[in-house]
Structure 1
Amino acid sequence: MVSITSRPACRSGIAVGSTYEHRSSDPVSAPPRRRRRPRLAWSSTDGERLELSGRVLANWTAKIANLLVEEVDAGPGTRVLIDVPVHWRSLVWVLGTWVTGATAVLDAGDGEGLVGDGADPDVVVTTRPERWLDECDVVTAVALPSFALRWPGTLPGAALDGSADVAAQPDALGPLAPASAGHPAIVSGGLSTSFAELAAGPASAQGLREGTTAIELALAIEALTASSGVVGLRG
């Protein structure tokens, strides 16, 4: 079960703009990212707790976006399958994907073939890389422990390390392809939600179903945008 709460604090960090035609309001380019107050409070059912400042969230977002651009020249039309449960790591991968203008495909299944609307992803971000090595050329292995600096053990095949390879990227956001509000931001359960629909409010978006990873992460990001407090995310 995931709960999203907010408590008063000075604004710092994430700000997702109402338009995605430019990047001046993106999570990385927002000036408040320089502040170091907590912005996201993550807790898990097994007792793990972590607070991330706006600056840390912005750095993760920029690094992920840079990695996606480096690996697949990510931009509008690029599909990033995020096969990671609700977690602060899945949230920053969604943010990094959106900053490039690419589409986050969520709610992966275990059946034959790929998920969502059936189109192949360009990148798979996953906690189970062996599952996807034969289905996608670029697979990124994500270790869920919050303080993991690298994938535990040997990376399978040619998989990238969702901790070490991301950390090696620059903190500053590199060049990006033009994007627009009409491009799909999320594909979940075969339904597509555009950046414009998300900006109008994810709770009312027809493509986001209650109880899914997609709606939980979208609501958390909306809370980060709308609130100047600390947003709590639990998974």
Structure 2
Amino acid sequence: MNATDRTPADLLRSALAADPARPLVTFYDDATGERVELSVATFANWVAKTANLLQGELSAEPGDRLALLLPAHWQTAVWLLACSSVGVTAEIGGDPAGADLVVAGPDRLDEGLACSGERIALSLAPLGRRFPAAPAGYADYAVEVPSQGDRFAPFVPVDPDSRALVVDGVELTEAQLVERARADAEALGLGPGARLLSGRPYDSWEGVSAGLYAPLAAGGSVVLCRNLDLLDADGLAKRVESERVTRTAE
């Protein structure tokens, strides 16, 4: 990664320039058997489409607050980078009533209705499937995002000193987030090409750093596992071997 990168979106652009074909996020859900692998290029395309949805269709602006009511999931990672691309503050588990927008998974839709702004629902079903019908009060992400542009340019350049993330009482600017991600990558022993397996939920900085930001900052990749506690020791050992994992954060 480049030393001049000051936002998570910068980190993603550097990763795309360095090696677009390498894996960036490999997602497992051990409750459903789902496995999804996204290269840097594929992940960046999802981020661009989601950022265009945010900025264009939802009229989000830098400084807006987005309550992100989603678990550790590859689509959550996409939304985090899309928010940084626009300059929107992602508040993981944030209060919908105080947010400008809300993005909610299927088990938190009722909670998200407290938001008076735009609401987006994610089914979190395998292959990113849509809902049979959009939940009341929501637009379906899987319906809205495919038609969005594959390239993104913010209307206003993102300020590295603007607030980027709020999670479990930790508030970080774009630049602070990058600095902490780099420090975490060093502490975890991550370098270019490293493969970190993380079973941590996205409800703390430690979880979201291991599950996205630290591998991205290091030029590595993450094997993000939801419901990892359902996997026995032999299953975990096989996954570590098959995914060429070099570090773990369970």
Q: TM-score range by the shorter chain?
A: 0.7 to 0.9
Asked if the contact 2:99/2:117 (under 8 Å) is kept, the reply is no
The corresponding residue for 2:27 is: 42
How many residues are treated as equivalent by the alignment? 205
SS of the aligned residue for 1:201 comes to helix
Specify which of 133, 145, 169 is matched with residue 154 of structure 1: 133
Asked if the contact 1:41/1:49 (under 8 Å) is kept, the reply is yes
Name the structure where helix makes up a greater proportion of residues. Answer: 2
Partner AA of 1:141 in structure 2: A
The corresponding residue for 1:187 is: 166
The corresponding residue for 1:172 is: 151
Asked if the contact 2:15/2:40 (under 8 Å) is kept, the reply is no
User: What is the deviation of 1:184?
Assistant: 1.1
Return 5+ residue gaps in structure 2 as ranges.
Answer: 185-199, 227-250
The corresponding residue for 2:112 is: 132
User: What is the deviation of 1:27?
Assistant: 2.3
The corresponding residue for 1:5 is: none
CA separation of 1:146 and 1:95: change in aligned 2, threshold 3 A: farther
Partner AA of 2:224 in structure 1: L
Q: Give me the whole-angstrom Cα distance separating, in 1, the residues matched to 2:82 and 2:175.
A: 17
Identity among equivalent positions (%) equals 29
Specify which of 55, 65, 86 is matched with residue 100 of structure 1: 86
* Cα deviation digits, residues 148-171 of structure 1 (max 9, x gap): 3312x2212341111121111111
CA separation of 1:169 and 1:214: change in aligned 2, threshold 3 A: farther
The alignment status of 1:222 with 2:214, answered yes or no, reads yes
SS of the aligned residue for 1:27 comes to helix
CA separation of 1:15 and 1:78: change in aligned 2, threshold 3 A: farther
* Cα deviation digits, residues 20-46 of structure 1 (max 9, x gap): 3x96x3525764387333221111222
Q: Give me the whole-angstrom Cα distance separating, in 2, the residues matched to 1:29 and 1:101.
A: 18
Asked if the contact 2:91/2:167 (under 8 Å) is kept, the reply is yes
CA separation of 1:17 and 1:86: change in aligned 2, threshold 3 A: farther
User: What is the deviation of 1:138?
Assistant: 0.7
Q: Give me the whole-angstrom Cα distance separating, in 2, the residues matched to 1:65 and 1:73.
A: 11
TM-score with structure 2 setting the length: 0.71
The corresponding residue for 1:200 is: 179
CA separation of 1:39 and 1:30: change in aligned 2, threshold 3 A: closer
Q: Give me the whole-angstrom Cα distance separating, in 2, the residues matched to 1:50 and 1:180.
A: 32
* Cα deviation digits, residues 171-200 of structure 1 (max 9, x gap): 111343122221111112344111121121
Larger Rg over CA atoms: 2
Asked if the contact 2:11/2:216 (under 8 Å) is kept, the reply is no
Q: Give me the whole-angstrom Cα distance separating, in 2, the residues matched to 1:26 and 1:73.
A: 25
Return 5+ residue gaps in structure 1 as ranges.
Answer: 1-13, 109-113, 205-209
Q: Relative contact order (C-alpha < 8 Å, sep 6+): which is higher?
A: 1
CA separation of 1:181 and 1:35: change in aligned 2, threshold 3 A: closer
Q: Higher mean Cα deviation, 55-64 or 167-176?
A: 167-176
Q: Give me the whole-angstrom Cα distance separating, in 1, the residues matched to 2:225 and 2:3.
A: 21
Partner AA of 1:213 in structure 2: D
RMSD across aligned C-alpha pairs, in angstroms?
2.9
Q: Give me the whole-angstrom Cα distance separating, in 2, the residues matched to 1:59 and 1:150.
A: 19
